[in-house]
Amino acid sequence: MNSDNKIEDEINVDKAKENVESYLFNNFEDVKSVEIKDIYIDPMGGIAVDGTVNGHAKYTAGIESDLRVSNMAVGDDFPNRKEECKERRCD
């Protein structure tokens, strides 16, 4: 947690983590584990979560003010999106 950004005062960190984990398990194939490395305020003022899945595949999730995942940037070796979740969000 980056205390310089005082994110713990601005959001419910546990709820944000829970939502990111749920999003990753529900929307991507073969996700066995989710690790959250950092939650911070990005340069544009939004909330971002950095971490890995399956111990190595990196991601950054953008979080809405309601703590739901709004967007996702993933590394090259990230699991594929589930077919049924390519055109709609799977929650």
| Helix (H) / strand (E) containing 36 | strand 34-41
Q: Which amino acid is at 54?
A: N
Which pair of structure tokens corresponds to residue 13? 């960190």
CA angle 76, 79, 83 (to 5 degrees): 120
Give the integer Cα–Cα distance in Å for 81 and 6: 33
pLDDT in tens, 3-37: 445 565 556 888 999 999 999 999 999 999 999 99
pTM: 0.85
Number of CB atoms found within 10 A of residue 18's CB: 12
> Cα separation of 75 and 85, whole Å?
18
